[in-house]
Structure 1
């Protein structure tokens, strides 16, 4: 009946603890879910790292269509420092057109007149020095480099680059830009609620004569993430109520002879951009996640010097989309990408064109964030349930399998579908739930162990009391004797634990064991006959020999229990006390006649304690003597009966001994 009730109590307690673990796991999962809704950028760093890891494993092969004409160190060495006279840029563009380029995008800005033009030089000399030069020998068509460049721009599918500005008060009144014609399909509500694209306040643009002459223009703005790494670029921006394409998009449209695009919007913003039959997935701000192919110089680079000097082989430019930029030291614009901290800016445009031509996109659907948040809740519940109802080993294995499964699912979706769904938040809740709930379960087990330890200590004390009571039934004076001796031995041990010779043995745990074990020092008296144990007079020699057997009886009794319970320090200390507390320092004691350090420390302490109590208490064969007299006798026995250091300790605490003797005096 008792076992059944105990079993039911344990079952109820286990269920209560499991319910708590489950509840805490659910609460923590909901907390992380709410935190992600309120502050979604907290885990951005981990999202970015995982995205970069997936990207590095799924680079793909670059297209051969984009080509970069590089104004490199070789070009500057052969044709002089930058900026070049614009007639040279015009010559470069004409040669590229003649070599069969489908379209040409210029990753550079012509915001001011060319100061290298003869027309400009003449004006500056007149203004600064009052010198009038007519340059009659120079043909009219060579006097104005800007006119030469404008004519070159008008002869082909050439796209100018410009930069949008976002500061208050930016001037854009004198700029001529080429907006993109966008057909919209989808929800108007999204546009009414918030702007679909990044809004620019101003623009740093080209001279109007160039913009009039060029086939088109596009911005070359890029915006890195909060960690400084470029992962996406805007394809469309809004300025003064009109939409404008990026340099890469406009250059590609000119190559494909496409004049408009279709924009598909959802309830929460832009969804995708259709270029002919190609659906380009966009981010919420109209950007494209770039699938970089690797480090810089992934695409074909051709030196501008080779183009100008006609050292380019046939077919190198034919049918290519060309971007003209510079990689010369001090001139090139560098970007940090997941693969390269010094990625050439002009190659970003080439990579965008590559991704669109190959239809090799990375998308981040509008529902991805919701799915990740749902994953937080679901994995939080799963992990909480597993940790609440399954053991530590299996729960670790199962949660590990779940975590790997989530990771692999995200990697598979990225690799095969080009969709990025981050497993970071679900994995965070999985790891945190495992850590926190495992800690909580460990804490619960620790509390349970402490409770069981307390119960075991109470059982030990009850056992000692019971065994001591058995001794009392044989010797009525033993009851208070037991209470006094356990207090005496604690007093001695507490003092001696600070002495070098005793400190290695007498720690707090051992002192507690001495206090618990002291009542068993005379347990062996239950084996001594009443005629001897209760004899009022002095014992005969034969009777004394039989009395001495109580140390052996005590040792054997405790040893029998010790063999059943195993190597238990509590019983070992009790056995040493019961067997050796009548040994003497000079070797004249019993039962073995041990001498000096051969006597265990518990036996040495109990020898003095037992003798003091025998001297200051009434016995059937003698009357008690005063405390002072007992102290004198113990001092006399120093080095013969007792360990000298134990006697010294006794003298330091003798007043405490007196108080214990009075408190627990025999009735």
Structure 2
């Protein structure tokens, strides 16, 4: 066998070893913390200035001080929606749970239903909960009198990573099958009723085998506009008492939700702690801009990585790349640049850590083996 043929056989064996290591890293998710850190770094340096089309009506400390302890009577929410209707808002997203009737003030439920009906463009939340720890999941919807007069319902499922940080959203979810749109998606569709195509990574089995399983579909990563406070806010109490000019609300989409820390609706994002209602605002803005990021599936991740792993094997030995470390460094650089290009240009996330680690590990092994051998397997140069 000629030395040249043997050299290429060795390179092929090295590539197969590297791709096997790549597959192992992708399957075991060992490199996921590195990828998540890289994604967070990208997001912190890829913010944008959101438009003024969305306004948050905040249940903030000032409102709690003026209106009393939570929960408030639903007559207050009815008055708020009437104020927003009079101001000419385009739509309202209520990020407030109302899944049980107000038995102490039943008239308040009917007053709120009347306000929902009069406005005609209010989206209410749906979420999954269990009565007991480890119990059967049930959908918590607004009570029937409110659900009947809401324009739409949307799920407010928050997706946590293994480190407790929320980076993305499932655009659809539900018990048994993913039929509820996310709250922000339901709001978006009020302005874009013909929207059919959704971004995001598909669930290979979107229909669950059990009607008691919470099924998610269309997972997309968020591109946050910035840290908490980036979107315009007005105080719930100020709107209720008419201290907010109608011009600040007219024609805008309003999201109503808690921003006070003690109310428990605070989530961790790559930009720090953020109220759930502002998380919804970021999602709505991402839908408007078409900037939600779709993670690549396993097959595409592996195929992209395998292609990039082949480059160091092919380029090794060329002028300037006569040492394995030079070819390895070039492979690492191309992997990081490929990930950045796909993210910034194609709105896709290819996690590069598994590929980078595979290149690093194989290049170290190659160097160790070459030092134990009198000749490099591919040429006469030193590793």
TM range (shorter): 0.7 to 0.9
Query: Secondary structure at the residue paired with 1:315?
Result: helix
Alignment correspondent of 1:301: 233
Alignment correspondent of 2:280: 349
Alignment correspondent of 2:249: 317
Query: Secondary structure at the residue paired with 1:406?
Result: helix
* Distance apart, 1:390 and its partner CA: 8.3
Q: How does 1:459-608 map to 2 (within 5 A)?
A: none
Q: 1:444 and 1:241 mapped to 2: Cα distance?
A: 59
Alignment correspondent of 2:265: 333
Change (3 A) 1:309 1:422: same
* Distance apart, 1:337 and its partner CA: 0.9
Q: How does 1:164-203 map to 2 (within 5 A)?
A: 164-165=128-129, 170=136, 201-203=137-139
Q: 1:286 and 1:378 mapped to 2: Cα distance?
A: 27
Alignment correspondent of 1:439: 368
Q: Which has the larger helix fraction?
A: 1
What CA deviation, in whole Å up to 9, does each residue of 1:336-383 have, x standing for no partner?
A: 11111x1111111111110111222322344xx434323443444443
Q: 2:130 and 2:24 mapped to 1: Cα distance?
A: 31
Query: Secondary structure at the residue paired with 2:295?
Result: coil
1:50 and 2:38 matched:
yes
Query: Secondary structure at the residue paired with 1:426?
Result: helix
Alignment correspondent of 2:380: none
> Under a length normalisation based on structure 2, what TM-score does the superposition of the two structures give?
0.82
Q: 1:349 and 1:226 mapped to 2: Cα distance?
A: 21
* Distance apart, 1:75 and its partner CA: 0.8
Q: Which runs of 5+ in 1 are unaligned?
A: 1-11, 120-143, 171-200, 271-283, 447-667
* Distance apart, 1:20 and its partner CA: 8.8
Q: 2:51 and 2:266 mapped to 1: Cα distance?
A: 22
CA contact (8 A) 1:376 1:429 kept: no
Q: How does 1:10-49 map to 2 (within 5 A)?
A: 22=11, 25-36=14-25, 39-49=27-37
Q: How does 1:97-176 map to 2 (within 5 A)?
A: 97-114=85-102, 117=105, 144-156=107-119, 157-165=121-129, 170=136
RMSD (Å) for aligned C-alpha atoms: 3.3
State the structure with more CA Rg: 1
What CA deviation, in whole Å up to 9, does each residue of 1:164-209 have, x standing for no partner?
A: 2479764xxxxxxxxxxxxxxxxxxxxxxxxxxxxxx521222211
* Distance apart, 1:110 and its partner CA: 1.5
CA contact (8 A) 2:171 2:181 kept: yes
1:291 and 2:227 matched:
no
Q: 1:437 and 1:416 mapped to 2: Cα distance?
A: 35
What CA deviation, in whole Å up to 9, does each residue of 1:619-649 have, x standing for no partner?
A: xxxxxxxxxxxxxxxxxxxxxxxxxxxxxxx
Query: Secondary structure at the residue paired with 1:249?
Result: helix
**Looking at both structures, which has the greater relative contact order when contacts are Cα pairs under 8 Å and sequence separation is at least 6?**
2
Change (3 A) 1:374 1:58: same
Q: Residue 424 of structure 1: which of 324, 342, 353 is its match?
A: 353
* Distance apart, 1:410 and its partner CA: 2.2
* Distance apart, 1:242 and its partner CA: 7.3
CA contact (8 A) 2:296 2:348 kept: yes
CA contact (8 A) 1:72 1:326 kept: yes
CA contact (8 A) 2:92 2:255 kept: yes
Q: Which has the larger strand fraction?
A: 2
Change (3 A) 1:419 1:442: same
Alignment correspondent of 2:164: 228
